[in-house]
């Protein structure tokens, strides 16, 4: 005997065997028991939810001589007659290939003949929405007032395409998607009947792939049974579905959410080299982000995801290291990418662009992203104003910065003493600071600056600890409390000494331009004065120092208070 697919072998033959369509099977069973059989039924809903199977069961049940609980007994003369494929009392019509007006006219003529060996003559019209307008018009009158022995059952996945005149003449039954747990239970029963060993996570993966369709789930299960000769494992199911390797997907997702764009691109390149398409990989990334959302928000996330224990632990670790805003933003980006890839002639470039965009939120000018970044800064400033500072983690030289919102925990610094915890230190204002603010240097200030105690504490002096200059500057900037955003920007600056000038170095052009603003320049100059730094400069990493600017700085130091302008 030829092999039959699982979805055909295990097709339900009674209403009780239908999975999670109780609202329909109960109505049909009551109609059969009471004899209140309608003349036209419309079964609509997603594919693989049991529409055609229900229609076949109902067609046999209304003709069965001894129905049991609304289902055919399978033993009487009528049931045996209908089991013969050549029986003409139950006709299945494919409207997709018989959608013309001539076919419907032929049906209208044949429906007048009584059944051969049964009580009712049943016509099951599958994919009825494919009929043409003229075919619907030809069917309309017959559907409204058919002979007493005729019953029509129309099945469709798109009821919105049917004319209102057809819908109003039918009893409509909406089939719903089957929950994953019910699909899993049915798959386990099928595997046990065929003697196939399996892992629970493998069954869960097959059920998820079916997306609520029992037929799709059984089709995937059929392929998995053929693929695996021994016990069916979770890895076997992923191979059949073409899903990216779990370890590789965790690596890519971890780099993405941590803001490591270069590493994320390298991980994606490995998957492309293994033969993954951009569309499939985008779907895998979106599924990974969905799992991260569940692991981040749900206490018992694996009860929902049904992943292997070690895989779930890795997903949960990545999710907990990120925050909700970063995961949500990446999900929104890749949700739109899936649609863009369908019409793109360069799908790989579209995917890589989305990957970089999701990894580097600071480069995104989208208003929604900017509003999130501003909200994160405002929250950080509020915490700083309350006397707390963010918990910072050391990062290796050259490592990428933490993306916005990657750490929202704020703690009070109670570690070993640092310049921030030292007693308030108010070094006298230097002449350069007075020039920067437009004020003159009075005699009292000059005498204080020239005092031996002040000279000993000025960072630029020979007796000062120049390695702590930047820390004193940050503390002075923080104690001012006037500009929290400026303080946040300066925290991550690199610095070096060039003579008596403290050079602040950044790799971000936006921060470099912001520090050159008049108000920021004045605030930085005042903080430098309080820290005892005689002169400072701001430089973009990789840019050569401007000799003219260095000369202007020297002139300002030598001729403090003079009106020096560059022409």
pLDDT digits (tens, 9 = 90+) for 78-116: 898 888 888 888 999 999 888 888 989 888 888 988 888
CA-CA distance, 381 to 402, in Å (whole number)?
Answer: 17
Whole-number Å distance between alpha carbons of 143 and 297: 52
Please report the pLDDT score of residue 480 as a whole number: 67
Q: Which CATH architecture has domain 180-241?
A: Orthogonal Bundle (1.10)
Question: Contact 16/72 with Cβ under 8 angstroms?
Answer: no
CB contact at 8 A, 37 and 48: no
Residue 245 to residue 251: CA distance in whole angstroms: 10
> In whole angstroms, what is the distance from residue 248 CA to residue 93 CA?
48
Of 64 and 420, more confident: 64
Q: Is the pLDDT of residue 406 over 90?
A: no
Domain ranges of the chain: 6-174, 180-241, 246-368, 431-558
How many residues belong to the chain?
567
Could you give phi then psi for residue 556, rounded to 5 degrees? -65, -35
Q: In sequence order, what are the residues at sequence separation of 6 or more whose Cβ sits closer than 8 angstroms to the Cβ of residue 322?
A: 257, 258, 292, 296, 406
pLDDT at 425 over 60: no
Query: In the block, which residue shows the tokens 């999130």?
Result: 372
The CATH architecture annotation of domain 246-368 reads Up-down Bundle (1.20)
* β-strand partners of 154: 42, 125
Q: Name the more confident of 419 and 1.
A: 1
| Cα–Cα distance measured from residue 154 to residue 52, given in angstroms and rounded to the nearest whole number | 9
Q: State the average pLDDT over residues 500-513.
A: 84
- Band of the pLDDT at 388, cuts 50, 70, 90? low
What's the pTM value of the predicted model, to 2 decimals? 0.60
Q: Which numeric CATH code is attached to 6-174? A: 3.40.50.300
384 has a pLDDT exceeding 70: yes
Beta partners for 92? 124
Distance CA 292, CA 519 (A): 42
Cα(308)–Cα(314) distance, rounded to whole angstroms? 10
Give one word for 155, left, alpha or beta, with left for phi > 0 and alpha for psi -120 to 50: beta
The DSSP bridge pattern shows strands 410-411 and 150-156 to be: unpaired
Which residues are 504's β-sheet partners? 495, 538
205 in Cβ contact with 37 (< 8 Å): no
């Amino acid at each position: 005997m030829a092999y039959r697919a699982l979805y055909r072998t295990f097709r339900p033959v009674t209403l009780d065997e239908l999975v999670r369509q109780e609202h329909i099977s109960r109505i049909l069973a009551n109609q059969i028991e009471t004899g209140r059989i309608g003349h036209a039924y419309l079964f609509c809903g997603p594919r693989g939810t049991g529409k055609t199977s229900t229609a076949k069961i109902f067609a046999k049940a209304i003709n069965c001589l001894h129905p049991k609980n609304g289902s055919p007994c399978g033993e009487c003369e009528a049931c045996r007659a209908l089991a013969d494929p050549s029986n003409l009392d139950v006709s299945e019509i494919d409207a997709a290939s018989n959608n013309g007006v001539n076919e419907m006219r032929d049906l209208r003529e044949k429906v007048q003949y009584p059944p051969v060996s049964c009580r009712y003559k049943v016509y099951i019209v599958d994919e009825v929405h494919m009929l043409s307008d003229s075919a619907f018009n030809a069917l309309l009158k017959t559907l409204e007032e058919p002979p007493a022995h005729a019953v029509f059952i129309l099945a469709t996945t798109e009821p919105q395409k049917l004319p209102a005149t057809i819908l109003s003449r039918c009893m409509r039954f909406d089939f719903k998607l089957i929950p994953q747990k019910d699909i899993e239970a049915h798959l386990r029963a099928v595997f046990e009947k065929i003697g196939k060993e399996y892992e629970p996570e493998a069954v869960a993966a097959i059920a998820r792939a079916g997306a609520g369709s029992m037929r799709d789930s059984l089709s995937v299960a059929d392929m998995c049974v053929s693929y695996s000769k021994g016990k069916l494992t979770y890895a076997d199911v992923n191979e059949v579905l073409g899903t990216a390797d779990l370890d590789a997907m965790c690596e890519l997702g971890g780099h993405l959410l941590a803001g490591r764009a270069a590493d994320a691109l390298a991980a994606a390149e490995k998957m492309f080299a293994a033969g993954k398409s951009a569309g499939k990989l985008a779907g895998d990334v979106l599924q990974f982000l969905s799992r991260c959302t569940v692991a981040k928000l749900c206490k018992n996330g694996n009860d929902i995801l049904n992943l292997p224990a070690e895989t779930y632990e890795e997903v949960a670790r990545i999710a907990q290291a990120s925050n909700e805003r970063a995961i949500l933003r990446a999900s929104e980006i890749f949700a739109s990418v899936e649609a863009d890839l369908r019409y793109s002639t360069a799908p790989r470039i579209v995917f890589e662009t989305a990957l970089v965009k999701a990894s580097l939120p600071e480069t995104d000018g989208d208003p929604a992203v900017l509003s999130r970044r501003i909200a994160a800064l405002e929250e950080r400033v509020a915490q700083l104003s309350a006397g707390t500072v963010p918990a910072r983690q050391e990062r290796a030289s050259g490592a990428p910065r933490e993306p916005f919102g990657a750490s929202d925990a704020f703690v009070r610094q109670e570690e070993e003493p640092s310049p921030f915890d030292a007693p308030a230190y108010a070094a006298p204002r230097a002449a350069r600071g007075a020039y920067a603010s437009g004020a003159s240097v009075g005699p009292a200030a000059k005498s204080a600056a020239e005092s031996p105690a002040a000279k000993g504490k000025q960072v630029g002096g020979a007796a000062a600890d120049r390695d702590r200059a930047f820390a004193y500057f940050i503390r002075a900037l923080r104690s001012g409390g006037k500009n929290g955003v400026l303080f946040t920007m300066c925290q991550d600056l690199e610095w070096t000494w060039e003579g008596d000038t403290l050079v602040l170095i950044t790799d971000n052009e936006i921060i470099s331009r912001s520090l050159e603003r008049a108000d920021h320049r004045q605030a930085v100059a005042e903080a430098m004065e309080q820290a005892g730094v005689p002169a400072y400069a701001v430089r973009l990493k990789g840019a050569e120092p401007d000799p003219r600017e260095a000369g202007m700085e020297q002139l300002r130091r030598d001729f403090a208070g003079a009106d020096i302008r560059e022409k």
